[in-house]
């Protein structure tokens, strides 16, 4: 690529209290060292990497499909892709349009066959790691349930008669929910049950 190449910088952080400045600083420095002058920046803040649909990523892909960029530069490829499949599909689309993909941290690009192969290998290893973590979490949940441990928030006892009393006094459903300390939906369901039959104090 030469200095006239249209380079798209993509950066992402998962939460709104994080900053992309470190990523952007490194990527801007990289562009300066390569002599790129036509640089566009696409930044997603507060967007999970588990999603392949993100506002700025979608805009970048739209510009890529319109051939408005010549290369995509990311700080690390997992900032861009949510999975191996997502990465490979994007790389294939970029390749079909002659767009280069560069990952700063991994020091890889798709300008060579070796770079393409390394991207696939590293992406597969990262995906395997995520799958193993997910399996360990699932296994821990199954073991906890098998041991009789209650998962999640403990259920709160609901006094249906108290709900009926507050409702009879003119309280709104949301006011009842707030006073009883349960969700709006729980109050509504208790009232529906009460109108369908006699109240059961032990419910």
Question: Which residues are designated catalytic?
Answer: 14
Inter-residue contact 47 to 54 (CB < 8 Å): yes
**170-199 burial: b if 16+ Cβ within 10 Å, else e:** ebeeeebbeebebeeebbeebbeebeeeee
How far apart are the C-alpha atoms of 117 and 115, rounded to whole Å? Answer: 5
67 conformational bin, left if phi > 0, alpha if psi -120 to 50, beta if neither: left
Strands (E), the chain: 6-13, 38-45, 71-74, 100-103, 108-109
Structure tokens at 123: 């992406």
Inter-residue contact 133 to 122 (CB < 8 Å): no
How far apart are the C-alpha atoms of 62 and 186, rounded to whole Å? Answer: 44
| Closest of 106, 136, 98 to residue 123, by C-alpha | 106
């Amino acid at each position: 690529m030469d200095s006239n190449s249209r380079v798209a910088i993509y950066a992402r952080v998962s939460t709104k209290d994080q900053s992309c400045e470190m990523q952007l600083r490194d990527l801007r420095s990289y562009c300066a060292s390569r002599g790129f002058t036509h640089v566009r920046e696409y930044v997603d803040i507060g967007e999970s990497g588990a999603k392949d649909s993100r506002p700025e990523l979608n805009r970048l892909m739209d510009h890529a499909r319109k051939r408005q960029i010549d290369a995509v530069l990311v700080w690390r490829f997992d900032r861009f892709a949510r999975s191996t499949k997502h990465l490979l599909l994007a790389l294939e689309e970029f390749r079909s349009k002659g767009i280069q993909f560069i990952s700063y941290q991994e020091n890889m690009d798709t300008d060579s066959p070796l770079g393409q192969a390394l991207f696939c290998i590293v992406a597969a290893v990262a995906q395997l790691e995520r799958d193993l973590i997910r399996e360990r979490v699932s296994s821990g949940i199954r073991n906890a349930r098998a041991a009789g441990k209650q998962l999640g928030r403990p259920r709160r006892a609901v006094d249906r008669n108290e709900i009926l009393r507050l409702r009879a006094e003119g309280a709104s459903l949301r006011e009842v929910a707030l006073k009883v300390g349960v969700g709006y939906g729980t109050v509504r369901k208790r009232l529906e049950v009460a109108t369908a039959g006699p109240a059961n104090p032990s419910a």
